[in-house]
Every structure is written in structure tokens, then in C-alpha cells.
Structure 1
């Protein structure tokens, strides 16, 4: 699990060219999300929850284009390495967490 989380945080770091504020609430939330995400991914490959309406994901993808593109990179990594596919729910949650991390980074660099 640690290697998985480290791989994902590295993808985000290098794709968005950011430095993490590891003490920030948003970073801790992101890592916590990744922990539970990895548990869901590896223990329940088949999703048993209702998919989100596509409208919500479309709005988030448009508003947070860079975090969305980063999620596509993460999705490809997971597919290539673990042969698992991310559903729209997971992509949405990742976009939101990554967008928060990116916002923190902008504030930190001002």
C-alpha cells in the first residue's frame, strides 16, 4: 500500500510540477483518500455502488482540467501496473483532492 500511495503522489507531484506541504490538511486528506482508495481498489475490483451522473463529472473535468489530466495519467498507471480500471466516482474524488493540493501549492508559492 505504501508503494502504491508513493507512486500516486509522485505522479501528481511531477505532472503538476508542485511541492507538497505535507503538514497541510489537504495533503493529509489526499493521502488518507489514497489509503482507502487502495483498499477499495485491491479488495473489491468490481464496483458495487451507483455511478455518478455524467453531468457532475463533466463540470468538474471542465473546471479542473489539469487535475483531470493528472487523473488520466494515474488511471493509466493503475491499469498498466495493476490491471484495474477506475470508475467515474474515483476519478471525480481524485480530481477534487488533486485540485485542492494544486491550490495549496499556488498559495504556498505566492
Structure 2
């Protein structure tokens, strides 16, 4: 009877986070490379907002593996998405800065 109750509990989606990690052997991507690249690119174009967003992306990318090791798969997945989003925003700011700079240089001639 107890085994049947445990199976129902595990299949119901309410299993604890450690079982969640055991079922999902692959850790979520941390997007650290993207975060570092976008931060460095924003450094080269002197974009302070892009640097801040890139730093936040690096922070969240660093937290992904820590959360996964602690057994919090859902938290690791959430932080992975946050790292990707902040990296993409930072990359967008880099593109905007480069585009505006090129536009200014062309218009100035």
C-alpha cells in the first residue's frame, strides 16, 4: 500500500526537488560564455548599461550550477533563463550602440 502511495505521489508532479534532479540528469545550460562575450563587447563600445546587464547575466550564469548541485533543478532552470535574457538584452544594447555610432559617423561626413 505504501509503495503504491509513493508511486502516485511521484507521478503526480509534486515530487520533491531532489527527485526532480534525479529524473533530469542533465543540468540546464548556464549561458556563461554568452554572458562574458556580451559584457566584453559592451566594454569595448563603452556602454555602461550593457556592462551592468552583462555583469548581472554572469551572476545568474554562475548561480545555475550551484543551484543544480544543491538539488534545486527548477531554481537552476529559472536562473538559466534569467542569464540568457540578461545576456540577450546586453547583446541588444551592444548592437544598438554600434548602429547608432555608425549612423552618427556616416551622417557626420
> TM-score over 0.5 for the alignment?
no
User: Which of the pair has more CA radius of gyration?
Assistant: 2
Which one has the bigger helix percentage? 2
Higher RCO structure (Cα 8 Å, ≥6 apart): 1
